[in-house]
Structure 1
């Protein structure tokens, strides 16, 4: 880059995942002789824009993942969270408290780079499996937020699946364009909204109620009632 502060680090592939990357960075990946590159493969972690997914649409139903999703990962809540995040090619998405990995995998399907964080080993394994099933790449970090976030690169948008107000405050301090989370009660939603507003974010909250129906006999199959809370940094635009 031609400056006195330039530093060059050469890493083999087995060391790259554990290396601490500091912004700004230029990363050059060099494949060895015989490296297989699939036709049309590009630089993004998800897929090329406009790719034809195996399952069209977003917020795919539970059966697409082959695992049980909890209330905080219901199909319609994920749809609303993805819409508010607006993840796109070139973004870095943090998914904190990633759970099954359904939202992380779908954000990567939009072409975003995704770092999924969870304290539970089972959740980390499930997220890696969801990414493989979706045909995308993402990074999984096992650790408890907010401490696990300290050494991560700066995010563009953040989805918080768990961790409470302390995690919201820690994320707001990193100044992503958008922060999206959910709450089970109005008091919890108000506390999250207050923390986002104190961090300089414009806050939006909606009570979402969804009832999934079995169209075989039209019986109730899945019910979810949550508060969707999102914050937008004013200077980031609509």
Structure 2
């Protein structure tokens, strides 16, 4: 059996966890955990650094020890104990141990997670928080979640700490050094370091700009990213991010727009299906107009940047985002010129562009991680757009959407009212292929 003990946030170990340590034959943990624990003199120790060597050491020990072990309730010595920070089942080592040895061989004694402790220090509930790990992972996902949601906990790591997170939020970037803009909004960062260490514990509130210029050292546990004006949500039934919207492709009347210059809901429905906006991703809405696509993508949890060249259009996007309770970063300028300053997107919707449309499609298609969707009213523009998508290496498909809506007539009868036809083209980046493997 393997006993996993969560520690490191100041709470004392429960008696059964202490008993497991007393019977341990092999103890695995970070250097600080091994130094702080009361270990038997006879126990072997493995300092937890890279995970694979530690798992190999556990496997070798179990192969030698388990055949001669007494039953689990006998109190026999020689057990494996793994010391971990906080709750080891929450973005912790329990996953790797269960995958390698099976969950049936684990006894887990969870501690208080660093996320729970950090929110406690901030005096906030966290059932409505989104938790994202940037430890050993790309920072851009955490940045996109922070831009889109009012209450986020980021588990940090080397190269993905408070300074890097603050710099990306301050610049509107995605963590890879690209971009500038206004993605941070009214965000405040709560940086929690050395949680549970007594006098060494630090919990500091800083702006993203302040975080970006600090050297935070290795003791940071977690960073909370808060929009303090929305930090307290109504009572929740389901924890985590808000559920996906119960309806989408909202009626045009639910948006402020000018002279019916808005992507119609039939077109919007298919565009959203091809864009696939989701939590942790970044979507561009180019030629945003009313911002209907941008707002709908934000309702699905994506971070969204809307590009609009008219000042009144910028105001409409802001107003529509506020009316739907979402956040959209709006860039006032003309594509493709302003695109070079934006962080790379996962998906792009292009609803305007005029004569610059092929150049805009090319710029977007070269940088998107997944897809580009283009809506056009003019048949003449379809070949150039398709050529631009294909030239950028995307697989291109498209349809002509032409719908008729039920409309009332005098005498309590109904007619069909045709909407203007729209061409919708989309390009999707093919999946990466492994060398020597045909997919």
CA offset digits 1:111-130 (Å, max 9, x no partner): 11100001011111101111
Query: Is the 1:99–1:118 contact (alpha carbons within 8 Å) kept by the matching residues of 2?
Result: yes
Could you say which structure has the higher helix fraction?
A: 2
State whether residues 92 and 155 of structure 1, in contact with CA within 8 Å, keep that contact through their aligned partners in structure 2: yes
Q: Quick one: structure 1 residues 40 and 90, their matched pair in 2 at CA, closer, same or farther if it must change by over 3 Å?
A: farther
Change (3 A) 1:98 1:90: same
Structure 2 length-normalised TM = 0.46
Residue 140 of structure 1 corresponds to 330
Which structure is larger by alpha-carbon Rg, 1 or 2?
A: 2
Between the aligned partners of 1:141 and 1:68, the Cα distance in structure 2 is: 19
Match of 2:268 in 1: 78
Structure 1's consecutive aligned runs of 4 or more residues displaced over 6 angstroms after TM superposition are 9-12
Q: CA deviation at 1:10?
A: 9.7
Match of 2:232 among 34, 38, 54: 38
Question: For this pair of structures, how many residues does the alignment match?
Answer: 222
CA contact (8 A) 2:256 2:316 kept: no
- Whether the 8 Å contact between 1:202 and 1:232 is mirrored in structure 2 is yes
Deviation string 1:63-88 (CA, Å, 9 cap, x unpaired) is 21244564661110111111111111
Q: Which of 121, 127, 138 is 2:311 aligned to?
A: 121
Q: Deviations over 1:39-68 (max 9, x none)?
A: 379xxxxx93425x5xx4111111212445
Query: What is the rounded CA distance, in whole Å, between the counterparts of 1:227 and 1:59 in structure 2?
Result: 17
Contact 2:376 2:423 in 1 (8 A): yes
- State the SS of the aligned residue for 1:87: coil
| Residues 1:176 and 2:335 are matched in the alignment | no
Correspondences of 1:217-228 after superposition (within 5 Å)? 217-221=413-417, 223-228=419-424
User: Could you tell me how far 1:22 is from its partner in structure 2?
Assistant: 5.8
Q: Does residue 229 of structure 1 match 2:425? A: yes
CA distance in 2, matches of 1:136, 1:177: 23
The partner residue of 2:406 within 213, 216, 221 is 213
Cα deviation for residue 236 of structure 1 reads 6.6
| C-alpha distance 69-134 of structure 1, shift in aligned 2 (>3 A) | farther
Runs of 5+ consecutive residues of structure 1 not aligned to the other structure = 42-46
Residue of structure 2 in register with 1:24 after alignment: 176
Cα distance in 2 between the residues matched to 1:113 and 1:96: 14
Mapped partners of 2:298, 2:172: distance in 1: 22
SS in 2 for 1:30: strand
SS in 2 for 1:212: strand
Over 3 Å counting, the alpha-carbon distance change for 1:146 and 1:89 in structure 2 is same
* 1:15-42 alpha-carbon deviations (Å, 9 max, x no partner): x66x3636337x9842669x4522379x
* TM-score (structure 1 length as normaliser): 0.81
Give the structure, 1 or 2, with the largest relative contact order (CA under 8 Å, sep 6 or more): 1
Q: What CA distance in whole angstroms lies between the structure 2 residues aligned with 1:115 and 1:68?
A: 20
Unaligned ranges ≥5, structure 2:
1-156, 178-183, 191-204, 207-227, 434-439
C-alpha distance in 1 between matches for 2:345 and 2:368: 8
